[in-house]
């Protein structure tokens, strides 16, 4: 640098017309450049994909507030960079709210986007649900990618007018299920009995494109509801069993989904694998009310081919249902008559055409791109105390299925009306 100034001055003497002001400007510019080089500038990361996670409350208090607080912990810790947002719809006693979770120093805060009047919205009314989700998405017009976490209750493929029957429900049922030492599942967290058919949910959600859905609801990793949702989203994370009341660990979910390295265009599947894995790890590591969790990540574009492979098996490739030993097939609830069986365990025992079964099995692996489970799962059935049921690892596919002839004739007509039944039976 000294040689540079020496050369500049030498040139000025030879030419005789270098101005002091010019030398001063040059010296100042070089000094600014040197100072800037010596000082490390902070790098500002911007997510050019502009990703947004919507969290929708149909689970109620205090459970959803806990979900929000967990997501807020990740936001407070700096999980989001510019272009990434977490938008929440929260049922509130004074009127429901839509707000954004934003970092506020080492904490997080809720920035209200929309305030509804008390009683104005019903979370499972399809008209209201469209308005709510529309308002949530309108708050992030720059977003190119969306995920949707549905904190709710679930009963798989069962129609809205059907209910799972609990046997021997003791007096004081609600009190039993609010004490901490007894596990509670999301199926029994509601203060009302309002339900929504899967088809209605699909009609609402089909108004928009979704990169993925997190179904934080019981029993939703079933072939019947998933097939009906096949065109709604690229991926779905769901459980074939009941989900304990803690639901997904949203601090881990938000931290995994976002960040400067996350890519929902080319690396979404691997990101969602990590997200689903965190769900099981949370319960396996003892952070929930018990080490009970099952999960699957489903690639929705493969659901049509999965149905086609099952249709081939149903065309003369399966034994008659009367020949099956249902007690040997993995089930996913504690009902006296089971409604949710493992689809792979069922078909492996029922298949009489090995080649067709192998074709189904290969397609199943393309459909369920990730699955995991703890040693056992918890079911709130029967009665108030529930039951812990061991999982046969060899029979765990991550997906459940209803089996006709299994002693539930009162539901068979409803099952025959499912899109899955029509697609898989000749």
pLDDT of residue 405: 73
Task: Please report the pLDDT score of residue 409 as a whole number.
Answer: 65
pLDDT for the residue numbered 110: 98
Task: Please report which residue ranges of 220-378 form alpha helices under DSSP H.
Answer: 223-228, 250-257, 268-284, 303-314, 343-350, 354-367
Tokens 């021997």 belong to 168
Q: Which pLDDT value is given to residue 176?
A: 28
Residue 426 DSSP SS3 = coil
Half-sphere exposure of 269 (CA within 13 A, CB side): 12
SS3 237: strand
Q: How high is the pLDDT of residue 343? A: 98
Domains of the chain: 49-160+168-300 (3.40.50.11970), 305-424 (no CATH)
Q: Which pair of structure tokens corresponds to residue 24?
A: 């001063």
SS3 49: strand
What confidence score (pLDDT) does residue 408 get? 65
Along the 426 residues of the chain, how does pLDDT read in single tens digits?
444 434 433 433 333 333 334 433 434 444 444 444 445 556 678 998 999 999 999 998 899 999 999 999 999 999 999 999 999 999 999 999 999 999 999 999 999 999 999 999 999 899 999 999 999 999 999 999 999 999 998 888 888 777 655 443 333 323 223 333 345 565 433 335 677 889 999 999 999 999 999 999 999 999 999 999 999 999 999 999 999 989 999 999 999 999 888 999 999 999 999 999 999 999 999 888 889 999 999 999 999 999 999 999 999 889 877 788 889 999 999 888 888 999 999 999 999 999 999 999 999 999 999 999 999 999 987 665 788 999 998 889 999 999 987 666 667 888 998 999 999 998
Identify the bridge partners of residue 215 per DSSP, sorted by sequence position.
Answer: 150
Name the token pair of 367: 């459909």
Q: At what angle do helices 126-138 and 198-205 cross, to 10 degrees?
A: 30
pTM of the complete model beyond 0.75 = yes
Q: What is the pLDDT of residue 267?
A: 95
Virtual CA dihedral for 403, 409, 410, 415, nearest 10 degrees? 40
Question: CA-to-CA distance for 324 and 401, rounded, in angstroms?
Answer: 15
pLDDT value, residue 407:
63
């Amino acid at each position: 640098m000294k040689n540079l100034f020496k050369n500049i001055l030498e040139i000025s003497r030879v030419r005789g017309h270098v101005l002091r002001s010019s030398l001063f400007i040059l010296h100042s510019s070089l000094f600014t450049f040197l100072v800037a080089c010596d000082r490390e500038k902070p790098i500002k990361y911007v997510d050019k994909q502009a990703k947004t996670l919507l969290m929708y409350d149909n689970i109620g208090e205090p459970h959803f507030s806990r979900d929000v607080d967990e997501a807020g912990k990740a936001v407070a810790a700096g999980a989001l960079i510019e272009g990434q947002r977490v938008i929440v719809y929260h049922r509130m006693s004074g009127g429901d709210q839509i707000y954004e979770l934003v970092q506020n120093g080492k904490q997080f805060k809720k920035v209200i986007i929309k305030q509804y009047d008390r009683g104005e919205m019903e979370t499972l009314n399809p008209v209201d649900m469209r308005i709510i989700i529309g308002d949530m998405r309108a708050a992030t017009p720059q977003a190119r990618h969306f995920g949707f976490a549905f904190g709710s209750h679930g009963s798989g493929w069962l129609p809205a007018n059907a209910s799972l029957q609990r046997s021997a429900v003791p007096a004081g049922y609600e009190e039993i299920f609010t004490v901490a030492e007894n596990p509670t599942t999301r199926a029994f967290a509601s203060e009302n009995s309002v339900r929504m058919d899967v088809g209605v949910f699909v009609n609402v959600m089909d108004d928009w494109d979704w990169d993925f859905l997190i179904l934080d609801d019981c029993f939703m990793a079933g072939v019947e509801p998933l097939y009906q949702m096949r065109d709604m989203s690229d991926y779905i994370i769901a459980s074939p069993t009941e989900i304990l009341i803690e639901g997904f660990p949203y601090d881990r979910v938000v931290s995994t989904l976002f960040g400067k390295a996350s890519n929902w265009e080319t690396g979404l599947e691997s990101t969602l694998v990590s997200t689903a894995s965190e769900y099981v790890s949370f319960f396996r590591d003892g952070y929930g009310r018990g080490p009970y969790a099952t999960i699957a990540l489903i690639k929705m574009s493969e659901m049509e081919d999965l149905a086609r492979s099952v249709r081939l098996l149903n065309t003369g490739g399966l034994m008659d249902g009367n020949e099956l030993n249902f007690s040997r097939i993995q089930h996913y609830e504690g009902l006296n008559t089971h409604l949710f069986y493992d689809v792979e365990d069922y078909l492996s025992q029922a298949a009489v055409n090995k080649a067709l079964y192998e074709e189904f099995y290969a397609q199943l692996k393309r459909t369920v791109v990730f699955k995991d489970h703890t040693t056992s799962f918890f079911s709130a059935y029967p009665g108030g105390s529930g039951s812990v049921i061991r999982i046969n690892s060899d029979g765990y596919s991550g997906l459940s299925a209803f089996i006709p002839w299994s002693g539930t004739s009162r539901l068979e007509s409803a099952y025959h009306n499912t899109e899955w039944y029509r697609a898989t039976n000749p």
